[in-house]
């Protein structure tokens, strides 16, 4: 009985502090290991991490929007617009300056990131200055950005980028570490510092926790909200650049599932939809968990349509579990 009580106590403590993610991760590891012999191998785990980098970047950006009490439904469009604009600018610069490969790549990367971040800036202006609902603002910009991406390409993939771009940022590695993973780790370290060691990081939590109290305490709430969506757009655009390098084409149809998956990764990781609660390291683990589930379902040969059902069900489960956790915490305080 004592051992059972101790195990129950530790399970409750983990649920309160970490949410439902550790339990889901443990279940997924057991289930997919039993379903496929190739799942729990070093090569496959490295593949999971590499494939999860794109969602990890978007999810970290989504976390800033969620911390302030909103969310961004335009992250998928930002990926698409970044891909199209970056690839077009890079291909044009490379055609004009075939000997300046590095400069062409730099022009394409900067153009793509600028286009994606601009969507985030417009979202930020709408939410912070004009008090538009984050749902309506980001939904409207998702339609606008997708329309622009299709108009620029006519729905046709953009080719003509230098091979070095894909070889470096899509399939390259440094000291055995794939480039997308290396870029993601660097950005995780930077954002961890911002969230935990700067005033801006504390402001995000304060605005999401109680925007009126934050305003009365002297925080520039409008600027904080604006920067949250700019950061969200910037992170999604970096993910778009890396994904473009992986595909070796500019695509207007990528990123459609990113809004759902990024919000699911954050909520599963314990980020509250009410704002003011969330940890960056947990969001990274949440994104890795989504990638792990998708990889496991692919190895188990589960159809892509059913995979979407599973991701949606996990999001609902995470929200329900978060409500139970909040109630449990409230009962402990009473």
Side-chain-facing half-sphere of 306: CA atoms under 13 Å:
8
Q: Where are the domains of the chain?
A: 20-329
Asked whether the beta carbons of 314 and 264 are under 8 A apart, the reply is: yes
Closest CA to 80 of 7, 169, 167, 145: 145
| pTM, rounded to two decimals | 0.94
Tokens (6 digits) for 300 = 């188990």
Q: Crossing angle of helices 42-67/280-299, nearest 10°?
A: 140
DSSP secondary-structure letter at 130? S
Helix, strand, coil tally for the chain in percent (to 5): 80, 0, 20
Nearest-CA neighbor of 19 among 290, 207, 259, 272?
272
Tokens of 245: 């390098």
Q: In angstroms, what CA-CA distances link 3 with 12, 199, 202? A: 14, 44, 40
Query: What sign for the dihedral angle of Cα 174, 252, 284, 207?
Result: positive
How many angstroms separate the CA atoms of 321 and 277, rounded? 15
> Tens digit of pLDDT per residue, the chain (334 long)?
566 667 676 666 666 666 778 888 888 999 999 998 899 999 999 999 999 999 999 999 999 999 999 999 999 999 999 999 999 999 999 999 999 999 999 999 999 999 999 999 999 999 999 999 999 999 999 999 999 999 999 989 999 999 999 999 999 998 889 999 999 999 999 999 999 999 999 999 999 999 999 999 999 999 999 999 999 999 999 999 999 999 999 999 999 999 999 999 998 888 988 899 899 999 999 999 999 999 999 998 888 888 889 888 988 888 888 778 777 777 777 6
Reference 78, options 95, 56, 61, 98; nearest CA is 61
CATH class in words for 20-329: mainly alpha
């Amino acid at each position: 009985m004592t051992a059972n009580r101790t195990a129950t106590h530790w399970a409750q403590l983990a649920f309160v502090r970490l949410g439902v993610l550790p339990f889901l991760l443990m279940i997924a590891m057991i289930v997919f290991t039993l379903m496929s012999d190739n799942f729990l191998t070093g090569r496959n785990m490295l593949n999971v991490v590499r494939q999860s980098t794109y969602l990890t970047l978007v999810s970290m950006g989504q976390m800033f929007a969620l911390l302030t009490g909103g969310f961004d439904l335009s992250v998928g469009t930002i990926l698409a617009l970044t891909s199209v604009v970056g690839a077009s600018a890079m291909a044009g610069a490379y055609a004009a300056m075939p000997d300046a490969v590095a400069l062409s790549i730099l022009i394409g990367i900067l153009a793509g990131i600028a286009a994606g971040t601009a969507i985030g800036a417009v979202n930020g202006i709408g939410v912070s200055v004009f008090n538009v609902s984050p749902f309506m603002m980001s939904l409207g910009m998702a339609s606008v950005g997708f329309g622009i991406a299709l108009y620029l390409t006519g729905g046709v993939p953009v080719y003509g980028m230098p091979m070095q771009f894909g070889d470096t940022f899509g399939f390259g590695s440094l000291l055995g570490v794939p480039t997308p993973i290396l870029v993601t780790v660097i950005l995780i370290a930077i954002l961890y510092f911002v969230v935990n060691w700067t005033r801006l990081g504390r402001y995000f939590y304060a605005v999401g926790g109680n925007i009126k109290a934050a305003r009365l305490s002297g925080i520039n709430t409008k600027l904080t909200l604006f920067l949250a969506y700019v950061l969200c757009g910037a992170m999604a655009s970096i993910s778009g650049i890396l994904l473009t390098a992986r595909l070796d084409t500019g695509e207007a149809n990528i990123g459609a599932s990113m809004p759902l998956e990024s919000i699911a990764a954050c909520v599963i990781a314990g980020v509250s939809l009410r704002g003011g609660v969330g940890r960056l390291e947990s969001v990274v683990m949440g994104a890795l968990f989504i990638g792990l589930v998708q990889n496991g379902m692919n190895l188990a040969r589960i159809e892509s349509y059913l995979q979407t059902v599973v991701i949606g069900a996990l999001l609902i489960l995470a929200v329900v579990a978060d409500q139970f956790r909040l109630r449990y915490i409230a009962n402990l305080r009473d």
